[in-house]
Amino acid sequence: MIALVIGSTGLVGREIIKALLARPDIEKVISFVRRTSVRQHEVGYEKLEEHVVDFEKIESWKSLIKGDILFSALGTTRSQAGSKEEQYKVDYQYQWDIARIAKENGAHSYVLISSVGANAESPFFYLQMKGELEKDIGILGFKKIRILRPAALKGQREKPRLGERISTRILDLALPLFPKTLKSQIRPIDAKIVADVAVRSAFKEHLGTLVYNSSDIWID
């Protein structure tokens, strides 16, 4: 089986790559990145095939998007992107375009790392954007769709996000003040846990869509 990954240089994406490479039933992992990484030359990464691509020109490399399962963990912040429009390209358009092409090229399963609170009707731009992608992916016809909605992520990013570090720290300290039912939804979660559940979910026999809210990710 061949796995496709976008967003593999990100916090969850890096862990998804590790989890996939550890599985004997995965023959190859194909990663699409904007800048090269040294990982493909490290021990244990022999099954990784990495392509440095221009996400603005997806049509020029769409023939490479051939595999059985697509893991989509691409994402950015507005400050990194520079504007809402540029953030939308990364968090919605690129992911949608690649998913469409992957399905056209024969992929049968799709796993999306979304966000807690994702809702196409949300008044908040980020959550609305995430919700729109979740909804629109459903029309592509994948046999299996897995959507994970983790709360704030923990882990060491290549490019640290100060706001994320502060928010996760505050949430950790404030958790005892929240009702038990709410704690599991807002509790910061390690990226490795999210990635492990994402990979395992892709191999569950259940056809159709499975949604993992943050509390579901903790107990899976």
| Residues recognised as catalytic | 126, 130
CA gap 5, 12 in Å, rounded = 11
The pTM of the full predicted model, rounded to 2 decimals, is 0.86
pLDDT tens sequence across 53-98: 999 999 999 999 999 999 999 988 888 888 999 999 999 999 999 9
- How many whole angstroms from its chain centre is CA 10? 9
Per the structure, how many domains does the chain have? 1
Q: What confidence tier does 12 reach under pLDDT thresholds 50, 70, 90?
A: very high
Instruction: Tell me which of 23-37, 143-157, 170-184 is least confident.
Output: 170-184
Q: d(Cα 33, Cα 36) in Å, to the nearest integer?
A: 7
Mean pLDDT of the chain: 87
SS (H, E, C) the chain: CEEEEECCCCHHHHHHHHHHHCCCCCCEEEEEECCCCCHHHCCCCCCEEEEECCHHHHHHHHHHCCCCEEEECCCCCHHHHCCHHHHHHHHHHHHHHHHHHHHHCCCCEEEEECCCCCCCCCCCHHHHHHHHHHHHHHHHCCCEEEEEECCCEECCCCCCCHHHHHHHHHHHHHHHHCCHHHHHHHCCEEHHHHHHHHHHHHCCCCCEEEEEEHHHHHHC
* CATH classification of the domain holding 136: 3.40.50.720
- Domain residues for the domain of 90 are 2-219
pLDDT of 215 reads 85
